[in-house]
Structure 1
């Protein structure tokens, strides 16, 4: 089935169906209509998969996806235009441009935690760039996967955009095919499988993997506002199941008690228990830890000075605090390659962190909101991923930038042709150095060939 699906899409792409601005715009408009007409069904699927309230589904997935569609639709014609660039003196007279062209047939494998937006957002970029697409939604969010499989054919061109449902066997079969790009959202373990499969065909990949996102809190910030933003960024975003959600806090040792006290005042209830059962972690609890096994609920939990190699520092929604005193020490404390670095600091420290702390993206004095800016790239670095998307960056992610040089038949320079003489060498060296006199001599045909 996977082979047949790819063959059909390649035929559609080869026929040029996806290349016109009109086709691309029509698909984006179809996605907008789908969101408008099926909002209730989308919300119901998200609730079935993740127990998301309608308001959270609307704010975090439905509205953002619709905004992404509109942004791409409004920018599409400008994004598709060739970009004029300077031409070199060595090619005078000529013009040069960069032409974005679709890659071909692309595979998008999405994640379960935001199953609607993480499926459709990369599809928007792929469509805008003029590609044929296979979307493989996460089988761990089966209601949303089924919804997408049923709805998309009603609103977009099914000969060019297809949904393939299933689990590991179906994904494995898809990865055995040759693609022109693979976009994967998920974890590092599966990402390595994706890259290994892609390498067999020299297929480029984009990986959105997450990582442990730190929050660095300085002692001279507005603590009440900072803590509210940190808490809503943690437990207000999918109960912490988000790649951009804060994962651990770094602050000064002297300020830690005050920060913990402020966090206690604004915390709400959420889930998760097993990560705090590790013996060397249990005695680090400074708040929370209470659990209701019958209801599968656990109070938000704070731990102080947790060992970096403990399980709690590699997964979960329990919070750990570590101490820092300067930027250099903080860099050594941070777990590597977060998709998001979040800091609440004064302007001096802000500048130092922006300049010196590596991360996929950075947000100063808030959490999560950088995701909503379509003019900013969103992506990881190192272990948190490669490549970026959102807005025009999504268009670029699924485009090949083709350099095009255009010359006429005038301005022929004899110096570029054999036989090579000392005089010709001088002219060619002058051209390479940008000599205007050498250019004039070349255009005039000097030195003249002796007959």
Structure 2
């Protein structure tokens, strides 16, 4: 046992393993109670949870509601609505050679599950995998991202208050803690983040024959030709760079545009930009800020690259390095060798 009576990582996992083997988490009533407790936690502590996210990257409160709270509540309600049907055995047909036997599929919990949260949506990407794991009757360890420390502390504070302490734990810390967790035997691992770290998680899981759910980044293009509805296309492309300042995996990194669609799309993007930001340019209080200085500097290196390679700025381009803020910015005729085309952008540049 660690100093101060706090269980070590190894002891925590063993404790949860013992709870799972006792079959405490298997009944419908236990699963339902945990999900209802999470829903109550969201209701009782909405303001504090919201503030922990809003202050982390100066995220607008409406954006927090849409990308964090709505998604989490919907996940919990969906699980509660469908839990009984998910737990029911499913009859399946058998071959004639097995006559007169019958067969059915019974969904069983896996055991002890590890959830790695992510900094870009520090509640959503902790709570939604947690909902899935609890609904399936598992014990769970949640490791929030250390890059969102306020949200991490709030996640720990409330989850430990509302959920069954015999079947659940929050473990905070940086890369060293993640490394120690990956040495443990888990029965499933959820990870959202970069491809580089995803490989580390995958390799560690493979040594234990542990299944994984990996949601990783990458270069995600949009393709636009003359058949497009340019107004809708422009608004969707720009929205991906506005929401969370493009720090979201569903944002398009770049657009591949046919020659005949180039000018109509360019005009539509300008119209959409002025619709989003009526003052003519984005303001620092209208969009989420970037997570930290290192990420800001990486994006500024893309923004300030030689125009002949980077391309012309169609709209945007404003930034404040000291406050980790860059306005949504659209480039035209970016070369394949540009920094933006070599790595995932994960920011407000298109």
TM-score range, shorter chain: 0.7 to 0.9
The aligned counterpart of 2:3 is none
Q: Does the alignment pair 1:163 with 2:191? A: no
What are structure 1's unaligned runs of at least 5 residues?
321-451
Indicate the SS of the match to 1:135. strand
What are structure 2's unaligned runs of at least 5 residues?
1-7, 290-298
Q: Residues 247 and 294 (structure 1 numbering): CA distance in 2 closer, same or farther, change over 3 Å?
A: same
Q: Does the alignment pair 1:305 with 2:333? A: yes
State the alpha-carbon separation in 1 of the partners of residues 92 and 148 from structure 2: 46
Q: How does 1:366-377 map to 2 (within 5 A)?
A: none
State the alpha-carbon separation in 2 of the partners of residues 309 and 282 from structure 1: 9
Which deviations, in whole Å up to 9, do the C-alpha atoms of 1:14-57 show, x marking residues without a partner?
Answer: 00111001000000000000011111011000012121122111
State the alpha-carbon separation in 2 of the partners of residues 171 and 53 from structure 1: 30
The aligned counterpart of 1:4 is 11
State the alpha-carbon separation in 2 of the partners of residues 9 and 294 from structure 1: 44
* Alpha-carbon distance, 1:201 to partner: 1.2
* Alpha-carbon distance, 1:250 to partner: 1.8
Which deviations, in whole Å up to 9, do the C-alpha atoms of 1:60-81 show, x marking residues without a partner?
Answer: 1112101110100110010011
The aligned counterpart of 2:344 is 315
State the alpha-carbon separation in 2 of the partners of residues 232 and 299 from structure 1: 12
Please tell me whether Structure 1 or Structure 2 has the larger radius of gyration of its CA atoms. Answer: 1
The aligned counterpart of 2:305 is 278
* Alpha-carbon distance, 1:296 to partner: 4.5
State the alpha-carbon separation in 1 of the partners of residues 179 and 349 from structure 2: 35
The aligned counterpart of 2:5 is none
* Alpha-carbon distance, 1:319 to partner: 4.3
The aligned counterpart of 2:40 is 33
* Alpha-carbon distance, 1:283 to partner: 4.4
Between Structure 1 and Structure 2, how many residues are aligned? 319
Greater helix content: 2
Which deviations, in whole Å up to 9, do the C-alpha atoms of 1:327-379 show, x marking residues without a partner?
Answer: xxxxxxxxxxxxxxxxxxxxxxxxxxxxxxxxxxxxxxxxxxxxxxxxxxxxx
Indicate the SS of the match to 2:331. strand
Bigger drift between 309-318 and 41-50 goes to: 309-318
CA contact (8 A) 2:133 2:139 kept: yes
* Alpha-carbon distance, 1:217 to partner: 2.2
So what's the TM-score if we normalise by structure 1? 0.68
Q: Residues 297 and 138 (structure 1 numbering): CA distance in 2 closer, same or farther, change over 3 Å?
A: closer
Q: Residues 298 and 177 (structure 1 numbering): CA distance in 2 closer, same or farther, change over 3 Å?
A: closer
Q: How does 1:388-403 map to 2 (within 5 A)?
A: none
State the alpha-carbon separation in 2 of the partners of residues 197 and 259 from structure 1: 45
CA contact (8 A) 1:216 1:250 kept: yes
Q: Does the alignment pair 1:127 with 2:154? A: no
* Alpha-carbon distance, 1:295 to partner: 5.1
State the alpha-carbon separation in 2 of the partners of residues 11 and 173 from structure 1: 20
Q: Does the alignment pair 1:239 with 2:245? A: yes
